Structure 1
Amino acid sequence: MSASLHHSLRVADLHTHPMLGVGYLGLGLRGGWPRWALRGPLRNLLGLVTPEQARRGGVDLLVFVIYQLPNPRRSYRAGLRRQLRRFEALCARYAGTLQHVRSSEEIERAWAGGKVAVLLALEGGHSIERHPEDLVWLRDKGLVYLTISHFIDNRLCGTATHPLRRRWGLSRRGREVVRLCDELGIVLDVTHSSDRARREIARLSRLPVIYSHTGLRRFVPLERMQTEADMRAVARDGGLVGQLLSPYFVSGRLHGDVDEVARNLEYMCEVMGPEHVAIGSDFDSGLNPPAPLRSIADYPLLTAAMQRRGLGRAAIEQIWSGSFLRLLRAIGR
């Protein structure tokens, strides 16, 4: 019953990192990787998100996230353009399965053609902090959201995980970027931002903000995670919260299972309503998946866990794609 339900739904994952393997290791998406690449810490950096696994897992929409490590000595602009070329080359190589889309209308066209729709996002505002105007051509390429900070503070805002724990808010340039994103229709993702920065971004932005891949402070008491107040504020403004699937971000433990993920999703639905809940797996980032998931091909098992938790079809449909599609339509994308 759960498998048939799952494959009758539109399934979206808001935050995936196949571009890490492609961008930094120069590998493709289908497999055939060298053995060394599948051992040790790299084993969760490759192969969790592929076209074939999307087919098997009934996945209809993926957000591919572009990321580059902070390095002030290198040109972020050149790195962005290089990553964009690789992203477009990937979509062209697997054109029979994947279709690069920029809007809700293009998503529907991709689905009508039997393809997996792929949207583009950028993680880490450091990549555009020197040249915020790069957001214009990124928007032309279909950029749907900007994760404005990452592990360390940048010139735009503070992060929840900076080693010095400075807890900065938005800078002057950060406020300019928020306004530019509003004009361009780029959603701001505050997943990694400090509590202060999150509040300031939410007050300033005219668009809903999102947490694309996160956990709950109720179960993992870290600033990186979200509180009930955070969730209610996001829902009030029309945004959404995507649950990260790796066990540490679900329960604070290194190992866990899909039933714990379903518990978090049920709690989120109770606090903010399922129309503001989503999945942002962070797969292919190096983080381990919850048992028994091995890749996005196993997503029917997560749907089954939601059913065991008592979530009905309407709520599961919202979690898997309804909340994200609603957001896209609300911002005119």
Structure 2
Amino acid sequence: MNIPVADFHCDVLMKLLEDNKLSFQEDATGQLDVTLQKLKQSGAVFQTFAIFTSLTQRAGIEPVLESIDLFHRQVLTNPEIQWVRSKEDLKASISGGRIGAMLSIEGMDRLNGNPAMLRSLYELGVRAAGFTWNNANWAADGAMEERGAGLTAKGKEFVRLCDELGILLDVSHLSERAFWDMADTASRTILASHSNASSILPHKRNLSDDQIKAIIALQGVIGVTYVPYFVSGHSPVTIEDLLRHIERICELGGEQHVMLGSDFDGIEVYIDQLTGPQDVQHLQDALLKRYSEEQVRRFMSGNAIRFLLQHLPDGRS
């Protein structure tokens, strides 16, 4: 059995940006976790490609635009990939047997609080946004910022603009106070693209039970992530350890809200037997030992696809 897979976060665009010799289509180097071939092996029906640009790179918006250019030249040139910007795009990708590919941005540092930049990114296909990484910027404090402040006034303005445009709001890297600011300000919903349960493993990047319940109440989704140090404090980290986070979210009422957010290509260490999309079969098999096939289909892709069909913009892009 090969259940369709939807993954809400990978960083392969970051690696392609850093090394122009790498290829999403034919990675002979073995340096990429996410490639076309590995996605096909996994049974992927949807993948979010995050735009993440290190602040050690040159200043300005150029690295963001270059990441989008790489998405077009290396990912979308494939006939087996369908660009997803709307509900209709996603429906077309599923009915056509292609892999839906959506852009997100992880950190708005380079937008400098300029609404025109955000509107332009929407026109370029960005459909989900995390306001910061682990640091503080003009919009919000990140999860690892010691002062733990929330959204700035400009950050709250951008929450409202994202809702107006149809850009999904991603809370994964926010400080706890910024999380609650976003939840209170959002007029639609929120999601966590790649976060786990802090009641299973206390970590500033994981979500408290109250945060998980808030996402559920807002009809959002939570992408359990394969980052080993967000999963377990011991080594090696196993798929069974990851299942404890799924179980906890379900205990809090989240069976309809669990999805996958691997963070492949954003990590250098891995869960045992989960080193790339080609290994997701191992996660599926472990889930099927604990849950019904219907439940596992929800976790692997059903919840994410349903969420997107509810919250992506209307109209064929």
Question: Runs ≥4 in structure 1, deviation > 6 angstroms?
Answer: none
Match of 2:86 among 103, 117, 120: 103
- Could you tell me how far 1:91 is from its partner in structure 2? 2.4
- Could you tell me how far 1:173 is from its partner in structure 2? 0.8
- Could you tell me how far 1:305 is from its partner in structure 2? 0.8
Q: Establish whether residue 126 from structure 1 lines up as the match of residue 121 from structure 2.
A: no
Instruction: Supply the RMSD in Å over aligned alpha carbons.
Output: 1.7
| Partner residue in 1 for 2:37 | 52
- Could you tell me how far 1:329 is from its partner in structure 2? 2.6
Equivalenced residues, count? 311
Indicate if the aligned counterparts of 1:91 and 1:100 stay in contact, CA closer than 8 A: no
Q: Give the 3 Å change call, closer, same or farther, for CA 92–14 of structure 1 in structure 2.
A: closer
SS at match of 2:256: helix
Superposed, which structure 2 residues align to 1:221-232 within 5 Å?
221-232=202-213
| Partner residue in 1 for 2:14 | 20
Distance 1:324 1:92 in 2: 21
| Partner residue in 2 for 1:32 | 28
Indicate if the aligned counterparts of 2:10 and 2:264 stay in contact, CA closer than 8 A: yes
Distance 1:25 1:226 in 2: 33
- Could you tell me how far 1:203 is from its partner in structure 2? 0.3
Match of 1:150 among 130, 133, 144: 133
**Amino acid paired to 1:97:** E
Distance 2:161 2:93 in 1: 29
Q: Establish whether residue 137 from structure 1 lines up as the match of residue 131 from structure 2.
A: no
Deviation string, structure 1 residues 135-168 (Cα, Å, up to 9, x no partner): 2122123222101110210000111102xx0111
SS at match of 2:188: coil
| Partner residue in 1 for 2:233 | 252
Q: Give the 3 Å change call, closer, same or farther, for CA 145–332 of structure 1 in structure 2.
A: closer
- Could you tell me how far 1:25 is from its partner in structure 2? 1.1
| Partner residue in 1 for 2:48 | 63
- Could you tell me how far 1:129 is from its partner in structure 2? 2.8
| Partner residue in 1 for 2:309 | 329
Distance 1:193 1:294 in 2: 26
Q: Establish whether residue 265 from structure 1 lines up as the match of residue 246 from structure 2.
A: yes
Distance 1:311 1:200 in 2: 35
- Could you tell me how far 1:289 is from its partner in structure 2? 2.4
Q: TM-score, length-normalised on structure 2?
A: 0.93
Superposed, which structure 2 residues align to 1:157-196 within 5 Å?
157-162=140-145, 165-196=146-177
Indicate if the aligned counterparts of 2:11 and 2:49 stay in contact, CA closer than 8 A: yes
Distance 1:96 1:330 in 2: 26
Distance 2:198 2:279 in 1: 27
Q: Establish whether residue 288 from structure 1 lines up as the match of residue 288 from structure 2.
A: no
| Partner residue in 2 for 1:43 | none
Distance 2:273 2:88 in 1: 35
What runs of 5+ residues in structure 2 fail to find an aligned partner? none
Distance 1:261 1:104 in 2: 30
Q: Give the 3 Å change call, closer, same or farther, for CA 151–313 of structure 1 in structure 2.
A: same
SS at match of 2:252: helix
- Could you tell me how far 1:72 is from its partner in structure 2? 9.3
**Amino acid paired to 1:47:** L
**Amino acid paired to 2:201:** V
| Partner residue in 2 for 1:306 | 287
Distance 1:273 1:191 in 2: 17
Deviation string, structure 1 residues 171-203 (Cα, Å, up to 9, x no partner): 111011111101001111111111111001100
What runs of 5+ residues in structure 1 fail to find an aligned partner? 39-45
Identity %: 27
